Structure 1
Amino acid sequence: MLALGRLVADDTLLRWSSRISAWMGDFDQVDMSIRWSYSQRPAEAQQFDRKLAIMCYLSIFGWLLAYRMPKEQRSTLVNFHLRQMTLLHIVTLACLFSQVAMLPVWGWSSLMMSGVCFGVIMLMRMFGVMAAMNSSQEPLPIIGRLAQRLLRDI
């Protein structure tokens, strides 16, 4: 049973990685190596960076893909949006834990507050996706400058 579950998980991971590579382009085509240089193919590298910045906002897997990429290969655009989304993930987790903690105290009325909180978070994600689509480094409304100041090591 465990082997079957592992086989299904490996198959799912393989399918998702092939879908992501089909969307982002073949890694050999953009020369994904440690010695990857933007000077070789600047137009393709900018397109790859823009797609990676957009993926930071769309899912946790896109954020992990950008985070696990070596720092030497990341552009300033990807680093900027990676910092923004990292702080947004931290804020999302804080809202989730505070809502769960307040549920016994406030009851179901705490769900209204969490709905407002998650609505604001989704709005900030949409602003981030629009900025990444335009390849601009515009900070998010409430937490943008704070993310750049606190997470400059990422």
Structure 2
Amino acid sequence: MEKVSDPGKTNAIIAYITLIGWIIALVLNNNNKTSLASFHIRQMLGIMLVGLSISIIISITGIGLLSILQIGTLILWILGLIGAINEEEKPVPVVGEHFQKWFAGL
């Protein structure tokens, strides 16, 4: 038998496509909430905030070595997107569980 796709899969994937995609996924998910989409919306919000924070710290301090952390943020984004494509509610390493707690209202 063919696997039936979760209706939230599209919204979960859209959430990982830029800030605009995240906003679209959030609005669409508010109309028809699914566990999968909500999970990935929270994950992507956290990833975006981590990336923004690192960028701000780099611009203030001028410490270019922190760019390594930006590569880590990219890796988190890739892992999150792969999870959405595979319809998994698997948190990204290190910070994913925190994102689920902190943004539980989404």
Where does the alignment leave 5 or more consecutive residues of structure 2 unmatched? none
- Residue aligning to 2:95: 143
Choose the corresponding residue for 1:63, options 22, 33, 46. 22
Output aligned runs, 1:23-102, within 5 Å. 43=4, 46=6, 48-69=7-28, 71-102=30-61
* Counterpart Cα distance in 1 of 2:48 and 2:83: 18
Instruction: Say yes or no: does 1:133 pair with 2:75.
Output: no
**What's the counterpart of residue 73 of structure 2?**
121
3-state SS in 2 of match to 1:69? helix
- Which residue does 1:111 correspond to in 2? 64
Unaligned residue ranges in structure 1 (runs of 5+): 1-42, 104-109
Q: TM-score, normalised by structure 1?
A: 0.62
Q: CA deviation at 1:93?
A: 1.1
Structure-2 change in CA distance of 1:122 and 1:70 (3 Å): closer
When normalised by structure 2's length, the TM-score is 0.88
| SS of corresponding position for 1:57 | coil
Cα distance, 1:72 vs structure 2:
4.6
Aligned equivalents of 1:70, 1:137: Cα separation in 2: 16
For 1:141 and 1:90, the matched residues in 2 are separated by 15
Shift of the alpha carbon at 1:70? 5.3
For residues 52-94 of structure 1, the C-alpha deviation after alignment (integer angstroms, 9 at most, x for no partner) is 2112112111101012235251211000000011111111111
What is the match of residue 27 of structure 1?
Answer: none
